[in-house]
Structure 1
């Protein structure tokens, strides 16, 4: 018996809704990845173009999206959690493709998710408070990994990225888009 025959039409409808939600989070994640691939991060602002540097650029961009979703009630919270889940499913897959074993992947993904939570908190708090000094400190510690100063240009770049994400209409971001 097919799965659809076992669960009936209600199960199919629920499954369809879950697939639609995941598609939205995957689209948001893809948009965040595109933001993180901006060459300015690596060419102008000296973010390391390696696994750690790319993770930090992505963590920043996903943090901006999750910050935007935070104010959108239950639907925004659900989508934010799904975005987080999508990101770390991708991290898991990426590590496996790089040759890490099952035990190593699980541990590394856990460490990365904890690191992400700290970055999300630091970025969101500094942006919510319009605290450029705290934002600079967070960028220096995380994005630049202590190798440089977050100058005014980098701060303005990140603030402009955030403003762009914050300006996305509610219905557009809840549909999984940033355009």
Structure 2
């Protein structure tokens, strides 16, 4: 997409403020106190989750035939994977392995995105036990894949699930201008 933008004179939207805000939200200490593992994989999962919630909001904003919303979402998605590529290289992963790792990360992203979409479908209510349970089950599967299915499901992840539902509800009132300015909900789990 970058080459086409260069050829046609279009510049990708600046997503740096939004991405910085997402990274800060994904690294917030209360998330890890609420049940997210403070590991490389756990941090990746928290970043994927926050990115996907913002992309879901941008998808809704784009339903009004808003091409800027689509362009911003694509630029944010591309920036995420560019950042993952740079991070892998900084960690010392060899050039020949980076592509394979990015491909695995993309598969992980799409798998998690699909699971979160299913869990978050329907009316969102942070006070609904059924909604919290649905999200907590997906969190358990993604954050603790090697554990027994029941070991990290509600109530241990209910607080984190409630946070996710509240974060998405907070995004529900954000405009494209607010999101592009890096304004994401500041909610504590």
Please indicate the TM-score interval, normalised by the length of the shorter structure.
0.7 to 0.9
SS of 1:178's equivalent in the other structure is coil
For residues 107 and 72 of structure 1, what CA distance do their matches in structure 2 show? 33
Give the TM-score normalised by structure 1.
0.80
TM-score normalised to the size of structure 2?
0.76
Query: In the alignment, what sits opposite 1:3?
Result: none
Q: How does 1:1-179 map to 2 (within 5 A)?
A: 14=9, 17-18=10-11, 21=13, 23=14, 25-45=15-35, 47-73=36-62, 74-129=67-122, 130=124, 131-147=131-147, 148-151=152-155, 152-173=158-179, 175-179=180-184
Count how many residue pairs are aligned between Structure 1 and Structure 2. Answer: 162
In the superposition, relative to structure 1, how do residues 146 and 139 fare at CA in structure 2: closer, same or farther (>3 Å)?
Answer: farther
Higher helix share: 1
C-alpha distance 52-164 of structure 1, shift in aligned 2 (>3 A): same
5+ residue gaps in structure 2?
1-5, 125-130, 185-189
Residues 63 and 124 of structure 1 are in contact (CA less than 8 Å); yes or no, is this contact kept in structure 2? no
The answer to whether the Cα contact below 8 Å between 1:139 and 1:150 also exists between their aligned partners in 2 is no
C-alpha RMSD of matched pairs (Å): 2.2
Conserved? CA contact 1:64–1:124, under 8 Å: no
Cα distance, 1:30 vs structure 2: 1.1
The runs of 5 or more residues in structure 1 that have no matched partner are: 1-10
SS of the equivalent of 1:71 reads helix
Indicate the structure (1 or 2) with the bigger Cα radius of gyration.
Answer: 1
